[in-house]
Amino acid sequence: MINLYLIVKNLTRDKPHLLLNTFAILVAFFLFGVLGSVNKALHAGLEPSENNRLIVFNKISFTQPLPLGHVEKIRALDGVKLATHANWFGAYAQGSQTYFAGFAVDPETYLEVHADSFLVDTTQKRAWQRNRQGVLIGEKLAQTFAWNIGDRIPISSNIFYKADGSQVWDMVVEGIFTGTDLQTDTNFLLFHYQYFIETQTFGSDWIGWVVLTTVDPALNEDIINKIDDQFANSFYETETTSERQFNKAFLQQFGNIGFIVTSVVAAAFFTLLLIVGNSMALAVRERTQEIAVYKTLGFSAQKIFSLVLSESVLLAALGGFAGLALAHMFVGGMSQSPQIRAIFPGLSLSRSIFLQAVFYMIALGFITGFVPAYRAMQLNIVNGLTRR
């Protein structure tokens, strides 16, 4: 109890320095919390990717189309278990500027290929498959717009036009699907490929990409080579990769988020080391005579070391937890916005980020406090009492 009293008194004796140092640490951990949460939300879709699921897309770019006939040729290859296809739609609800993912898919095979990722009631699935204008809505997307089964909703595209010149597709909500775990993104919708391809103006019988599962992940490399060799030197050459790598390539459109987060946080913490480390060194130097008195009164060198080091760790904890609290409120506010949820589904300050931050607080306290604490421990009583 006496030790804690001394630590707090020493830490709060120079309040302006305490406030400035705490604010600097607060800013660093606020940035860490917010940027780490955004980075984790962007990469959430990579976690549930299955080892035996592959993606086939146009070798030029995944924004270029492939012929529908590629699907059957891929299905016929040995080692391919299931295959389906999808088209990017670029959807938003009419009257709203909130964009979200929409995919035109084959209703008979898409859910089979993704059976380990999405759950939907059998009755709802059959109703969707029977209705050409039916749409399956992800749980998060349904919550955002308060859509329910049976609702007739106009969905617009920011890319495609219908043959009649409009950009609105009338759809009926036939089912709401959920993810098999909390990390699975359900902020999108699925509707019929035939409804899409027969009403839009950009040609016919083309697809965006093929999704397939293999009978054994050990065969992935062999099947990847078979597919790409089959379409080599054709008008529509392909590039086949794992679902995880495909999702990473898609995220790279936003830039290397992980590198940006690491760079910003590293710069912030390096600056902290200089600021807080220098501040702790000056604080200990100003208390040289006081530390000498502690030793005269019987405080051991180890006790002096622990007091100074604890003071540094407590300073890091004060600013760090304040920054995390602010980041938690900020991220929570962001996640309430439909526009933000559309881009960063599942945005939250997760437990893993919190635990990383606590580790960095402790490390920051030890790094900035070790040298001043060591010098205080080594201080000679006579030299300390005579130093001005």
pLDDT tens digits, one per residue of 303-336 = 878 877 888 888 889 888 999 999 889 888 877 7
Indicate whether 244 belongs to any domain: no
User: Mean pLDDT, to the nearest integer, of 146-169?
Assistant: 89
Q: Does 12 lie in the same domain as 118?
A: no
Domain count across the chain: 2
Indicate whether 254 belongs to any domain: no
Q: Does 67 lie in the same domain as 41?
A: no
Q: Does 38 lie in the same domain as 69?
A: no
When comparing pLDDT for 197 and 281, which is higher?
197
Indicate whether 245 belongs to any domain: no
Indicate whether 118 belongs to any domain: yes
Helices 15-42 & 301-335, crossing angle to 10 degrees?
Answer: 50
C-alpha distances in angstroms, 362 versus 181, 262, 315, 333, 365? 32, 19, 10, 28, 5
Compute the chain's Rg from CA coordinates.
29
The answer to whether the predicted template modeling score (pTM) of the entire model surpasses 0.75 is no
Q: Does 100 lie in the same domain as 77?
A: yes
> Domain range for residue 155?
60-236
Indicate whether 166 belongs to any domain: yes
* 87 Cβ contact partners less than 8 Å away, ≥ 6 residues apart: 103, 104, 105, 193, 196, 197, 206, 207, 208
Domain end position, chosen among 197, 218, 236: 236
Torsion angle of the four alpha carbons 290, 293, 295, 296, in this order, in degrees rounded to the nearest 10: 170
Q: Does 24 lie in the same domain as 71?
A: no
Indicate whether 251 belongs to any domain: no
Q: Does 170 lie in the same domain as 66?
A: yes
Q: Does 150 lie in the same domain as 76?
A: yes
Q: Note the pLDDT tens digit of each residue in 48-75.
A: 445 788 999 999 887 889 999 999 999 9
Report the C-alpha gap between 216 and 15 in whole angstroms: 64
Compute the mean pLDDT over every residue in the chain, rounded to the nearest whole number. 82
pLDDT confidence of 176, banded at 50, 70, 90? very high
Q: Does 136 lie in the same domain as 69?
A: yes
Q: 10, 3 in Cβ contact below 8 A?
A: no
Helix, strand or coil, per DSSP, at residue 120: coil
Q: Does 156 lie in the same domain as 278?
A: no
Indicate whether 273 belongs to any domain: yes
Q: Does 120 lie in the same domain as 210?
A: yes
Indicate whether 253 belongs to any domain: no
Per-residue model confidence (pLDDT) at position 175: 95
Q: Does 354 lie in the same domain as 287?
A: yes
When comparing pLDDT for 79 and 263, which is higher?
79
Which runs of E-coded beta strand occur in 134-204?
134-138, 152-157, 168-179, 188-192
Per-residue model confidence (pLDDT) at position 25: 86
Q: Does 276 lie in the same domain as 143?
A: no
